[in-house]
Structure 1
Amino acid sequence: MNKRGLTASLLLAGLLLAGCGADNESQSDSGSAAAPAARQADKAGGGAVQEQAAPEQGKDTTAQSPDLRVDQRSIIYTGSITIRVDDVTSAAAQVTGIAAASGGFVGGDERHSGDGSSTANITLRVPADKFTSAVDQIAKLGTEESRGINTQDVTEEVVDLDARISVQKARVDSGKRLLAEAKNLDDLVMLEREVATRESDLASLEAKKRRLADLSSLSTITVVLLDPAAVAEKPTEEPPGFLAGLSGGWEALTASLGVLLTVLGALLPWIIALGVPAWAVVHLLRRHRRRNTPALIAPAAETPPSTP
């Protein structure tokens, strides 16, 4: 091989080595550039997974507390108002119209007329949010003589009923699952009785909740209408302390005596009708027994023997 061929071979080998080195550098560069991207993607993906897992864990472990704000509380409103009007019939019609306009209805209507006067006692059921406005409108129908407003907060009772209903529903469901898996007749009968008892308790709790919901959603207003000649009934005030106890004891005593006399009055005709003949029969039997009983003659006393 001459010098020119040797030089060509060396140049070719150098070019091949340079190409391999460039390929290795490009691969290492691309690998080093891809690694941070992959790490960032893994970090982002892991963070997303943690962020998604955190809300789920919080959702499972965080208990929702009841909303006890004033506007969310269950409050029962009851009120009574006494109005003196010129015409009871016309005022009663207006009271009924106020209830209907408020979205309520008339729960009771009792009217009396006679002795030159007339009165009306009307019970209204109106939505709780219209309670105050309805009372104010009724007060404008005439001269207001008395008004009484009472409120009862039953929020705690409603919350307690909700919790008990949830527990009772779970008990009913578990009882039904066991009933479906019953294998013999004895277990079937026992589980049917248990499920029926649990369903009855659940129905009772739900009825209580519906009752509270009805009283809190619809308020009760008792309207007393009086014409100018009617006399308003004033509640009697009892004296405080010892006098109140004495008055209550005396009323209880008179009430007890009244009941006793009533019972004696009811029994007296029976005592006369049955007791007098019975006494006569007993008296005659005693007289007859005395006549037929021989008299017992006492023996004469023995005279002691004479001594000579």
Structure 2
Amino acid sequence: MKFSARRWLVLVAAGLALAGCGSNDSAKSSTSFSGEAAPAQPQQGSGSAKDSAGSSQGQPGQQGKAAGVPVGQAGVQDRKLVKTAKLSLAASDVPAIVDSVRQVAVGAGGYTGQERSDKHSATVSLAVPSDKLDTTLADLSKLGEVTSREQSTQDVTEQVVDVESRIATQKASVERVRALLGKANSVGEITSVEAELTTREAELESMQRRQQALAGSVAMSTISVSVSQKGTPPAKPEERSGFFGGLANGWDAFLTFGGGVLTVLGALGPFLLFLGVPAFALVWWLRKRRPARVPATPEPLPAE
């Protein structure tokens, strides 16, 4: 029995040793397997990164849109500008220069507007296409000596966009009211809907006229040309002499004096109104409260 027990102990120890070796081998094998499989994940990651890089490189248009002008904002070429200019010329023959100014305006595809002229000067208003404004100013500057030149630009892009948006909204509103008019049954409903439709159509027409005015201001530029004669002597004051001259001077002095008196009375009027009326009422009230005087009765004469 002792030998068998010792034998069993040896067998158990050998079994435990074999079990420990087997666990170490399995751990090594699992480690080596994981070490071989691990590199496959970075390859997949790099592949996906390349795919994403390739897809991002394959869409340059989207990148350009992201880096371009924000949505809803007009670019430089889409701005709506109203341009105006003023030009002053000096020439020896004013009527001839005015005729040349008209010809330049017509040649540029524009037209002349308001004109004012006298013996020594003239003023002409021109309307020319906005894209030919600079060329027209250069042609006008060649007609005489330029004494002054001004040019201004007003940006009306926001006004144009706002009017277009309002028109679109108002059109939709008019269509809705028209649909309601088709569904109206009674005379009262028809009258009420027609009145509302008339009001909204009038507002729509007003907005459309505003849009047309803005479009015309953007399409056509205004130029104000002033032409004066070279060496024009200053106007001399009119001299008055003799009886009639003295009479005219006296009449002017009388009118000046009368105007000054009326000016003073006009300035005192509010004070007289707000102070004089209460003063008059106060005086009237005091006179009313004063007791009436009893007339003295004459003493009777002694009887004789």
SS at match of 2:118: strand
Asked if 2 retains the 8 angstrom alpha-carbon contact of 1:122 and 1:224, the reply is yes
Find out whether 1:261 has 2:268 as its counterpart.
Answer: no
- TM-score of the two chains, using structure 2 as the length reference: 0.55
- TM-score of the two chains, using structure 1 as the length reference: 0.54
Q: CA deviation at 1:204?
A: 0.8
Cα distance in structure 2, aligned partners of 1:133 and 1:298: 108
- Aligned residue among 170, 177, 180 for 1:178: 180
Aligned residues: CA RMSD:
3.0
Cα distance in structure 1, aligned partners of 2:295 and 2:114: 85
Find out whether 1:298 has 2:297 as its counterpart.
Answer: yes
Extract unaligned runs of 5+ from structure 1: 1-63, 233-256, 266-294, 302-308
Aligned length: 183
Find out whether 1:74 has 2:80 as its counterpart.
Answer: yes
1:91-102 to 2 correspondence within 5 Å? 91-102=97-108
1:209-228 to 2 correspondence within 5 Å? 209-228=211-230
Cα distance in structure 1, aligned partners of 2:295 and 2:110: 96
Q: Which amino acid in structure 2 is aligned with residue 104 of structure 1?
A: G
Q: CA deviation at 1:90?
A: 1.1
- Misfit runs of 4+, over 2 Å: 64-67, 69-72, 229-232, 257-265, 295-301
Match of 2:239 in 1: none
SS at match of 1:298: coil
Relative to structure 1, the CA distance from residue 72 to residue 194 in structure 2 (aligned partners, 3 Å threshold; closer, same or farther) is same
Cα distance in structure 2, aligned partners of 1:296 and 1:112: 83
SS at match of 1:190: helix
Match of 1:288 in 2: none
Relative to structure 1, the CA distance from residue 70 to residue 91 in structure 2 (aligned partners, 3 Å threshold; closer, same or farther) is same
Asked if 2 retains the 8 angstrom alpha-carbon contact of 1:107 and 1:124, the reply is yes
Cα distance in structure 1, aligned partners of 2:183 and 2:233: 71
Q: CA deviation at 1:86?
A: 1.7
Cα distance in structure 2, aligned partners of 1:263 and 1:230: 41
Q: Which amino acid in structure 2 is aligned with residue 107 of structure 1?
A: G
Match of 2:63 in 1: none
Cα distance in structure 2, aligned partners of 1:120 and 1:146: 15
Q: CA deviation at 1:262?
A: 6.7
Asked if 2 retains the 8 angstrom alpha-carbon contact of 1:119 and 1:230, the reply is no
SS at match of 1:121: strand
Percentage of pairs with the same residue: 33
Extract unaligned runs of 5+ from structure 2: 1-69, 235-257, 267-293
Match of 2:189 in 1: 187
1:152-301 to 2 correspondence within 5 Å? 152-230=154-232, 261=262, 296-298=295-297, 300=299
Asked if 2 retains the 8 angstrom alpha-carbon contact of 1:66 and 1:159, the reply is no
Q: CA deviation at 1:174?
A: 0.6
Match of 1:240 in 2: none
